[in-house]
Structure 1
Amino acid sequence: MDTNFIKNIVRIGRVSSINAAANTAKVVFTDKNELVSGELMIVNRGSMADKDYWLPDIDEQVLCLMLPNNSGQGLNAGFILGSFFSAEDAPQENSADVRAVKFGDGTIVKHDRSTGNLSIKATGNINIMAAGTVTIQGAAVKIN
């Protein structure tokens, strides 16, 4: 298989713009003389009954899967598969037992399956809404 073909199909670039309403983004490829893609769909972990919404940040490094067009003369349509950690953007955790989301404003949601601890650190308000009963139960309940 032609390695140049694969290099054009699987690409690394940086997000240059986002379209939140369409859940798409454009990506600039520095290895292709600053070539900017068309609107690329962003792969998420659910799009029907269960939905997981995520948009990369402008200038975030992303991995893209490009689709050849019908003429065979280029690659402009495709998908953003996700972002990845690097020396420039290191992970905030270093344990296989931890799943964490750290938001740009400093809010953190973190679960450690080795201890069972769930931590939520919010930089703003927390709103809990339920159509039914809200129950808080624990060995000790502290309210400060």
Structure 2
Amino acid sequence: MLEHNFAIAELNRRLANIIRIGLVKEVDYEKARVRVKVGEFITDWLPWVTARAGEDRSWFSPDIDEQVMVLSPFGELSLGVVLAGIYQQKYTAPESKKEVSSLTFQDGTKLSYDKNKHHLEIFVADKITLKVGRS
């Protein structure tokens, strides 16, 4: 009976850990890993998911205190990957219109595209450099 209760408790633990929501507490930029606070627990170093990670690659590192989801195969947090980008009270959505896609940076630089108006707007907080070919 004790063994049966342990098996049920272990299954419940794993099920509860498949998807967890937490806050980024540390970032290792060189290894592209973060530690996430989930409740009172802080995970080991976990990789984060990015848009592209093959020959074409993207880089958007999570911020400290950014709300994220930890997706853990088999409910094992040590195997988890981090999916960034859950809006929260501290970091709210920068837009509220379906037709607008945007990217806003901490310094105020912003790229915004309105699909209905076919209008791309780029605001740069300081300066911009465009390079073409080997220039």
What TM-score bracket applies, with the shorter chain setting the length? 0.7 to 0.9
Give the 5 Å matches for 1:87-102. 87-102=89-104
Residue 49 of structure 1 deviates from its aligned partner by 2.0
| Aligned residues of 1:44 and 1:54 also touching (Cα < 8 A) | yes
| One-letter code aligned to 1:24 | R
Residue 9 of structure 1 deviates from its aligned partner by 1.2
Runs of 5+ in structure 1 lacking a partner? 134-144
SS of 1:100's partner is strand
Which is richer in helix?
2
| Aligned residues of 2:14 and 2:74 also touching (Cα < 8 A) | no
**TM-score, length-normalised on structure 2?**
0.82
Tell me the residue number matched to 1:141.
none
Tell me the residue number matched to 1:54.
60
CA distance in 2, matches of 1:110, 1:6: 40
Question: Deviation per CA, 1:50-81, whole angstroms, max 9, x where unpaired?
Answer: 21111111011111112458xxxx53231111
Tell me the residue number matched to 1:16.
25
| Identity within the alignment, % | 26
Give the 5 Å matches for 1:108-123. 108-123=110-125
Question: Deviation per CA, 1:67-105, whole angstroms, max 9, x where unpaired?
Answer: 458xxxx53231111221134432110111111011111
2:105 aligned residue (91, 103, 106): 103
**TM-score, length-normalised on structure 1?**
0.78
For CA contacts below 8 A with separation 6 or more, give which structure has more relative contact order: 2
Which is richer in strand?
1
SS of 2:80's partner is strand
Give the number of equivalent residue pairs. Answer: 125
| One-letter code aligned to 2:98 | A
